[in-house]
Amino acid sequence: MAMSMGYYGDTAMKKISGGGVGGRYDVPEGVDVRGRYEEEFAKILTKDALIFVAALQREFRNHVKYAMECRKEAKMRYNSGGLPGFDPATKNVRDGDWMCAEVPPAVADRRVEITGPVERKMIINALNSGAKVFMADFEDALSPTWENLMKGQVNLKDAVNGTISFQDKARNRVYKLNDQIAKLFVRPRGWHLPESHIFIDGEPAIGCLVDFGLYFHHNHAAFRKTQGEGYGPFFYLPKMENSREARIWNNVFERAEKMVGIEKGSIRATVLIETLPAVFQMDEILYELRDHSVGLNCGRWDYIFSYVKTFQAHPDRLLPDRVLVGMGQHFMRSYSDLLIRTCHRRGVHAMGGMAAQIPIRDDPEANAAALELVKKDKLREVRAGHDGTWAAHPGLIPAIMEVFTNNMNNSPNLIETMKREDAASLTEEDLLQIPRGVRTIEGLRLNTRVGIQYVAAWLTGTGSVPLYNLMEDAATAEISRVQNWQWLKYGVELDGDGVGVRVSHELFGKVVEEEMARIEREVGRERFKKGMYKEACKLFTRQCTTPVLDDFLTLNAYNHIVVHHPGGSSKL
Ligand SMILES: CC(=O)SCCNC(=O)CCNC(=O)[C@H](O)C(C)(C)COP(=O)(O)OP(=O)(O)OC[C@H]1O[C@@H](n2cnc3c(N)ncnc32)[C@H](O)[C@@H]1OP(=O)(O)O
Ligand SMILES: O=CC(=O)O
Ligand SMILES: [Mg+2]
């Protein structure tokens, strides 16, 4: 590894007596690891790796704090009746003729990307799945327990080295990588999430800098050699609201490249456009990352969540039932069309999003219907001009691959052929148009049933789950939470199924009670007792009824999964 010695220099030289032996991490000055010690975690939390993460934290923490303050200011504006829109101050960026750096050959073809948590068996299955890309997730699909995060880093290191294997003893099956595997992208957490098992200079580390820093430090050299054809590593960046947040990522990338002595522009990232404010910042985000970008992605589930959150104080913009807010709604279609036009104009990929359907094993008819819905969604995406899309499950890949391949004219992508100049005329009104549809008591029940079960899974370390034949993760659960909150706050009338009741605290209390009874029946008494359903119910109910909406479900729930190891490793 070509390493800038000046950077790793002095601090790395200071040794802690007894560090790294007897169950303690060998930490540099100012760093305190409070998570459980394990030998294999210590191979990730090396002193050099922690120096690297601490350097990023020290350089960028004030920028991140400022960006989070700006989010609060924007929220206040929206809560006082303001609407998000295009920023007149950056019109020159939107109108300018600049381009992003050329797409690296290794990832020119991204027609199907599988996503999944950084769990060992799933990583192997995903890399072997036949998809072009695998997005390994520290975010929506992962509950960020210390064990999950550290094991995830161990797994990714083994995957990049090509040595990853997994033995399923019960099924007498050994999992190994095929010769041909998907290209690996890694999605760190969002800017808002702390990593409370690692303290730097007395405050919790910034979660995404831990995810990025540890993965980059350990894997950049091997990745560029074996996967990236000289480029990489590759990333997905979630939940940004403004281009100033993209500028921080760009600066992090440049700093990281410099620190290890690799060319500027080696790291590449796709940004998820999954907040309502960000749809008005797509050019600006690409501009900030223009040396490091490989496109944008329609993170549709968080986008719907963000619509509710942004308009939490706008009772005239209430959503219909969650199941009715699909890509067919005008504001969603406009967002996808504008994203395609923006990306192709700047020479990068416009990625589609996730259909929530997954294979239904025990019901062939329902399975065929679910597959049809996925195919229809993917056909809409490729016809609109998306260069690729997401799959939640390996069983969906052949069908999705076929839809994209049949509609891409033998090209690896549609960047040059689907310019979508027609989307240039889309207006702020198009992007904000209120979704149409009814609200029902069944919508309230489903939100509650799904929300509680998701939180119960998350609290026990599982971040993506199958519920009622759909994939549920942090983003989809957020919709359930904020929709319940919104309906309760405004006492909306649920009249879509002819019942005609108003949502009140009494009604919600009754719904929670009945849905908890239903969950117990469905999962069985034993599992219900052993699981964390009651804790989840308490947490979810509080989040739905709190007078001031929590910014994120997972931020509020995070304290429940932080476990500090009594004999932590500290050099404070
Ligand atoms: C809004 C967003 O951010 S979307 C992106 C984030 N969300 C995700 O990434 C969700 C990814 N998908 C999943 O986690 C899973 O598919 C779930 C939880 C939805 C369903 O999981 P399961 O019920 O375990 O699926 P199922 O039992 O059908 O799995 C069958 C096999 O496929 C594998 N599998 C299922 N999904 C995936 C995946 N996404 N990646 C790799 N392997 C997978 C399973 O490991 C299992 O392997 P095995 O046969 O070798 O044991
Ligand atoms: O991250 C993806 C989303 O849809 O949210
Ligand atoms: Mg998301």
Q: Give the pLDDT mean for 9-15.
A: 34
Q: Find the 180 Cα to ligand 3 centroid distance in Å.
A: 28
Q: Give the pLDDT mean for 394-409.
A: 98
Closest CA to 204 of 68, 72, 31, 20: 31
Contact 552, 192 (CB under 8 A): yes
Q: What HEC string does 364-398 produce?
A: HHHHHHHHHHHHHHHHHHHHHCCCEEEECCHHHHH
Supply the ipTM of this predicted assembly.
Answer: 0.99
Ligand nearest to the CA of 463: 1
Q: Find the 352 Cα to ligand 2 centroid distance in Å.
A: 10
- C-alpha span between 321 and 238 (Å, rounded): 25
Residues touching ligand 1 (Cβ under 6 Å) are: 114-116, 121-122, 125-126, 137, 140-141, 301, 354, 358-359, 392-394, 464-466, 471, 473, 475
Contact 72, 375 (CB under 8 A): no
> Two tokens at 411?
């090209």
Q: Is 299 in the pocket of ligand 2 (CB under 6 A)?
A: yes
CA of 470, closest atom in ligand 1: 19
Q: Is 354 in the pocket of ligand 2 (CB under 6 A)?
A: yes
Cis amide linkage into residue 144, ω under 30° from 0: no
**14: helix, coil or strand?**
coil
pLDDT (tens digit per residue) in 368-383: 999 999 999 999 999 9
Q: In the chain, what percentage of residues exceed pLDDT 90? A: 93
Quick one: DSSP state of residue 293? E
Confidence category of residue 470, pLDDT binned at 50, 70, 90 = very high
Contact 28, 54 (CB under 8 A): yes
Closest CA to 518 of 568, 422, 427, 452: 452
Pairing state between β 268-273 and 234-237: parallel
Q: What is the mean pLDDT of the chain?
A: 94
Residue 566 has pLDDT above 80, yes or no: no
> Two tokens at 558?
């995070």
> Two tokens at 86?
């295009």
| Atom 29 in ligand 1: residue holding the nearest Cα | 393
pLDDT (tens digit per residue) in 206-223: 999 999 999 999 999 999
| Atom 42 in ligand 1: residue holding the nearest Cα | 122
Q: What kind and span of H or E run contains 258? A: helix 243-260
Contact 244, 278 (CB under 8 A): no
Our mutation pick for probing the ligand 2 site, out of 239, 240, 272, 357, counting the most ligand atoms within 8 A of Cβ, is 272
Residues taking part in catalysis: 187, 473
Q: pTM of the predicted model, to two decimals? A: 0.95
Strands (E), 40-127: 112-117
Q: Is 300 in the pocket of ligand 2 (CB under 6 A)?
A: yes
- Chain mean position to CA 460: 19
- C-alpha span between 271 and 187 (Å, rounded): 10
Ligand nearest to the CA of 356: 1
pLDDT of the residue at 473: 98
Q: In the chain, what percentage of residues exceed pLDDT 70? A: 95
Q: Give the pLDDT mean for 175-184.
A: 98
